[in-house]
Amino acid sequence: MLSEITFRRIAVAGALMVAVSALASTTAIRGTLVPPVVGEALRLALASGGTVELELDEGLELTMRDPQLAERLWEVRGRHQEDGRLVVEKIFTVKDGELHRVTYYCEICHITTHEPGLCMCCQGDTDLRELPGE
Ligand SMILES: [Zn+2]
């Protein structure tokens, strides 16, 4: 009787630990973008074969859909869902084997933003700048 209760407690604790570790683990995967289809989620084609569907917030999605970056190798970090999608938290481009942060810069206002589009200040064009480092 006592041993059965103890066993159950261990089983519950074990299940909780598995759940916590699944939540806590961030995965990094590298690949190139499958040519985007309007209205469909972006997919990353892995070097090992196969693709992973990405779930991105609006800013990250705009960046990954930037035509200037269509040929890039990406490293995306996030959490795998049970259905196989990756909820993305960070994205980097990989150039010469090094991680780069994707930024957009307005020469006039000296403002850096993290998504493509017009400058939030002067509404002028922004320049893509990939900065080495994480
Ligand atoms: Zn500006």
Ligand 1 centroid vs 63 CA: distance in angstroms? 18
pLDDT in the model for residue 13: 56
Write the secondary structure of 69-134 as one string of H (helix), E (strand) and C (coil). HCCCEEEEEEEECCCCCEEEEEEEEEECCEEEEEEEEECCCCEEECCCCCCCCCCCCCEEEEEECC
Intervals of the chain under pLDDT 70 = 1-24
Ligand 1 centroid vs 119 CA: distance in angstroms? 5
pLDDT in the model for residue 27: 93
pTM of the model: 0.79
Ligand 1 centroid vs 5 CA: distance in angstroms? 66
Ligand 1 centroid vs 114 CA: distance in angstroms? 14
Ligand 1 centroid vs 126 CA: distance in angstroms? 7
Residue extents of the structural domains in the chain: 26-132
CATH class, 26-132 region: mainly beta
**Residues whose CB falls within 8 Å of the CB of residue 53, separated by 6 or more in sequence, listed in order:** 41, 42, 43, 84, 85, 86
Ligand 1 centroid vs 125 CA: distance in angstroms? 7
